[in-house]
Structure 1
Amino acid sequence: MDALLILGGLLLIFAGAVWLVVLAFGTSLLWGVGVMLPPITLAYVVRHWHTARKAAGLSALGFIPLVVGLSLLANHDPDRVAAIFSLEWLNAGAQVEQPLLAELKGELDGRPFNPRVGRLINGVLTLREGDDLFARQEVNISLGSVASGALRVDVLPQDPAPIPEVEISWLGLDQELPEARRIRKGYTLHLDLLPVPPNKLAGDFHLVLPAHYQTTLSGRVELYTDELRYRGDQLDLSHDSADTLRYVIRDYLQRRFKTRAVEVESVSTVSFPAQEAAVAVKAKVDGAPAQFDLDLRKQDAGWAVELDDYAALPPPAPPVATTAPEKTKPSQPQGGVSRVDRRQRFSLARLLREPEKYERLLMRAQTKRGNVAQGRFIGIDREGNLSIEHFLKGAGQATYNLVPSDIVRLELLEP
């Protein structure tokens, strides 16, 4: 409704302006040309009011639905109105967070809540409305350690602790700091999320807080699982985030030292938005600790390390096809124990150098976030990530794609 009122108002204003130009040309050629300039337009309306009054009245009439439509829009989506009047839409290069939560609706503290962005990072699920430092409205749910893959959580009001903690916050019209409330019991929560490549979870979301909080949310959500952003299948290197910089730095070090065994441990903080950054980096290259001071700059293609002229690494060699082995017993020493136990010299660096030696073997990986992935190693993808296949209890299977720099412990579970 608000969009129709705004559009109708603009059409009336435009029709009145065109009519006024036609009338001005009917008066004289000079008035017709001059009326296209705002000061002369006003002068023509005053000088020839009897002729111009109907066209001016039509344009003035258009401001009524325009103002009403903008008021309705500001009532339920003030961020969009602020963006319109700030002329941010004129900046084609501006970084815009794409809305993910079009199917999720409800209320927070008794007011409509239409979150635009959702995240599930480091075990905290965040639904946020507003792009300022303090969100206009926000819901945070602390889920604790969350494993990779599908996620299902069900909480009922009578469930005892420990259960996830819910925090809601909102910013009043005359407030500079948001109000916040924490809820530790007595609420209903249902999450049923499935992975959506490359870095999202999507599925059903349902949250009902105790009645005096006047907060309910229901529908389908999409949640980012990290701070990387993609355009189709390609990573968007122009996105301002710490994860983007870590990806760029890791790729740079891999090509510089001609090895995929690079782990970026820490990168100094950068304040975004930014066009350039000088960062201190701590990393491990082939297992050896190292420190680097790098200058990064945002170019047309996105973030890149300055003076980076290193060639791309060749793609990982595909597994060599072998003929079926003869059905003979492998030679064993006395006692029946295999002579080669690959667990003894196993490491992440060795796996990255010789992935074909460990295909289809059972292994367990633990990430920095505390997540554990266990299954059969099936190879290394084009991004240099480890692929581990895990068979579910029912029908089907799940595949974990793990970034080597995120792995803190990797175990081979069979010889």
Structure 2
Amino acid sequence: MDTLLILLGLLLILAGYVWLVMQAFSRSLFWGLASLVPPLALLFVLRHWTQARRAMVLGGLGCIPLVVGLALLAAHDSARLEAILRLDWLRPEPAAKPELAIQLRGELNGKPFAPEQADLIDGVLSLREGQDFYAHREVRVRLPATVGGPLRLDVLPNDSGTLPEVEISWLVPGQDLPEAVRLARGYSLHLDLAPEAPNRMVGAFHLVLPAQMRTTLSGKVELYTNHLRYRDGQVDTRVDSQDTLAYVVRDYLQRRFARRDIDLAQLPRLDTRKPAPDVPISFSVGGEAQTLSLTLAKTETRGWQVKGDKYPRLVDAPAPAPARPSTQAVEPTAGQPHSAPETGVVALQRLQAAPERFANRSMRVQTEQGRTAEGVFVGLDADGRLVIRHSLSGAGEASYVLRPSEVVRIELLVR
């Protein structure tokens, strides 16, 4: 409303000034040319008030909505009013600071490549150039499994075994779909990435494809590890993504049940362009499966939220002091052989109940998507996810993180 009043006032003042100039030209060519300069136009008003008074009245009427609009703007958004009075709108806008610090040098398919977006989500590292649905140029590295924690990987052209798959794609002028090339081996890749709070990884990236592909990249990258975005240290719930909706629902359930051990199943794919009424939510509280139907809606100020959410913020209880481990060693009974290590299939609930019993054991985990993660079991992270350390071909080593909800089979191995 304030903007409309300000525009109306300015239009009336401008119309009054144009009318005044027309009256001055009707008087004489000299006064018309002089009235094009505002100070001399005031002189025309003083000398010929009878002829100029109606134009001045119209301009004066324009001052009323202008003053009212400025007063309303000052009451609601004083900073914006100050910017208008300082004539900030006349100055060129500063260049937008990129979200990620990507410092890569090289080319893709023989053309300079300057990625603007980068992420490492669900085991796929992606570097994209362009904001359209199809990237103008893109590099994808598909790792064997989901990665959690630091990642160091070195692949040489002669390496064999289970290696990441590299894909490059580019849009050709005049075509709707991009061209793409995939490589399973025969390339050089170096990754040395370290996690950085809250949801980023930073480190070195080096990729060299066969000479005929004219693709080389080298430098430092910064990548997102999920689709959450943060503002002032808090999740920005105004961002439209499935991860944002999952965060909002999980936070709501934790506050509703006043506990942190909420295992949320995968949400159905939702259209973030409109409210989502009656969304079926499957989750478990302390291992007990439950379902709810929630309504998700978005506001300009608070972003996405669950309709009817009035539950207070959840305050974590202080962690108990860790018990001092016993220093007394347990010796095997004379003549009693040491028990052989356990092998075979183990239940997920058993591993979750006593993860320390299976620490440093080799295991093979199969997920519901058909992927297989094989390596040494490290333990459970703070969110209850399985962490497996896996040595890749060459000098590479990676840590895979698997959610309990996607695990279908766990098999202990003997090494």
The TM-score, its normalising length taken from structure 1, stands at 0.59
What residue is the counterpart of 1:7 in the other structure? none
What residue is the counterpart of 2:265 in the other structure? 265
Query: What is the Cα deviation at residue 213 of structure 1?
Result: 1.0
Q: Which has the higher contact order (CA 8 A, sep 6+)?
A: 2
Following superposition of structure 1 onto structure 2, how do residues 113-124 of structure 1 map, counting pairs within 5 Å? 113-124=113-124
User: Per-residue displacement from partner, 1:259-295 (whole Å, max 9, x unpaired)?
Assistant: 32221112111234x2522333222233222232221
What residue is the counterpart of 2:152 in the other structure? 152
Distance 1:401 1:185 in 2: 25
Following superposition of structure 1 onto structure 2, how do residues 162-311 of structure 1 map, counting pairs within 5 Å? 162-272=162-272, 274=273, 276-278=275-277, 279-299=279-299, 300-311=301-312
User: Which structure has the larger Rg?
Assistant: 2
Distance 2:281 2:386 in 1: 29
What residue is the counterpart of 1:30 in the other structure? 35
Query: What is the Cα deviation at residue 349 of structure 1?
Result: 12
Distance 1:349 1:160 in 2: 33
Confirm or deny: 8 A CA contact 2:388 2:401 kept in the other structure.
Answer: no
Q: Which amino acid aligns with 1:141?
A: V
Alignment CA distance shift 1:348-1:105 (3 Å): farther
Confirm or deny: 8 A CA contact 1:227 1:241 kept in the other structure.
Answer: yes
Alignment CA distance shift 1:251-1:367 (3 Å): farther
Confirm or deny: 8 A CA contact 1:170 1:178 kept in the other structure.
Answer: yes
Query: What is the Cα deviation at residue 328 of structure 1?
Result: 12
Confirm or deny: 8 A CA contact 2:120 2:225 kept in the other structure.
Answer: yes
Q: Which amino acid aligns with 2:311?
A: Y
Structure 2: gaps spanning 5 or more residues? 1-30, 40-91, 331-335, 337-347, 390-397
Q: Which amino acid aligns with 2:223?
A: L
Aligned residues: 303
Secondary structure of 2:105's match? strand
Confirm or deny: 8 A CA contact 1:129 1:138 kept in the other structure.
Answer: yes
2:319 is aligned with 1:318: yes
Q: Which amino acid aligns with 2:266?
A: S
More divergent stretch after superposition (128-137 vs 154-163): 154-163
Q: Which amino acid aligns with 1:308?
A: D
Query: What is the Cα deviation at residue 301 of structure 1?
Result: 2.4
User: Per-residue displacement from partner, 1:12-63 (whole Å, max 9, x unpaired)?
Assistant: xxxxxxxxxxxxxx994532359xxxxxxxxxxxxxxxxxxxxxxxxxxxxx
Confirm or deny: 8 A CA contact 1:128 1:137 kept in the other structure.
Answer: yes
Following superposition of structure 1 onto structure 2, how do residues 380-395 of structure 1 map, counting pairs within 5 Å? 385=383
Following superposition of structure 1 onto structure 2, how do residues 338-357 of structure 1 map, counting pairs within 5 Å? none
Query: What is the Cα deviation at residue 133 of structure 1?
Result: 1.0
User: Per-residue displacement from partner, 1:241-272 (whole Å, max 9, x unpaired)?
Assistant: 11111111111112222332221112111234
Confirm or deny: 8 A CA contact 2:283 2:289 kept in the other structure.
Answer: yes
Confirm or deny: 8 A CA contact 1:147 1:373 kept in the other structure.
Answer: no
Distance 2:399 2:180 in 1: 39
Alignment CA distance shift 1:320-1:182 (3 Å): closer
User: Per-residue displacement from partner, 1:311-342 (whole Å, max 9, x unpaired)?
Assistant: 2333133214779999999xxxxx9xxxxxxx
Distance 1:327 1:161 in 2: 45
Distance 1:190 1:204 in 2: 8
Secondary structure of 1:266's match? coil
Query: What is the Cα deviation at residue 348 of structure 1?
Result: 9.3
Q: Which amino acid aligns with 2:207?
A: L
Following superposition of structure 1 onto structure 2, how do residues 42-53 of structure 1 map, counting pairs within 5 Å? none
Confirm or deny: 8 A CA contact 2:385 2:404 kept in the other structure.
Answer: no
Query: What is the Cα deviation at residue 221 of structure 1?
Result: 0.8
Alignment CA distance shift 1:312-1:120 (3 Å): same
Query: What is the Cα deviation at residue 205 of structure 1?
Result: 0.6
User: Per-residue displacement from partner, 1:69-98 (whole Å, max 9, x unpaired)?
Assistant: xxxxxxxxxxxxxxxxxxxx99xxxxx995
The TM-score, its normalising length taken from structure 2, stands at 0.59
Distance 1:231 1:399 in 2: 28
Alignment CA distance shift 1:317-1:350 (3 Å): farther
Q: Which amino acid aligns with 1:134?
A: Y
Alignment CA distance shift 1:225-1:182 (3 Å): same
Confirm or deny: 8 A CA contact 2:107 2:215 kept in the other structure.
Answer: yes
Confirm or deny: 8 A CA contact 2:125 2:140 kept in the other structure.
Answer: yes
More divergent stretch after superposition (217-226 vs 364-373): 364-373
Distance 1:318 1:405 in 2: 26
Query: What is the Cα deviation at residue 140 of structure 1?
Result: 0.9
Q: Which amino acid aligns with 2:106?
A: G
User: Per-residue displacement from partner, 1:98-127 (whole Å, max 9, x unpaired)?
Assistant: 542531121111111100111111111111
Alignment CA distance shift 1:321-1:101 (3 Å): closer
Confirm or deny: 8 A CA contact 2:120 2:224 kept in the other structure.
Answer: yes
Residue identity (%) = 40
Alignment CA distance shift 1:174-1:151 (3 Å): same
Query: What is the Cα deviation at residue 405 of structure 1?
Result: 6.8
Secondary structure of 1:267's match? coil
Name the Cα RMSD after superposition. Answer: 4.6
Alignment CA distance shift 1:401-1:320 (3 Å): farther
Following superposition of structure 1 onto structure 2, how do residues 101-116 of structure 1 map, counting pairs within 5 Å? 101-116=101-116
Alignment CA distance shift 1:129-1:375 (3 Å): same
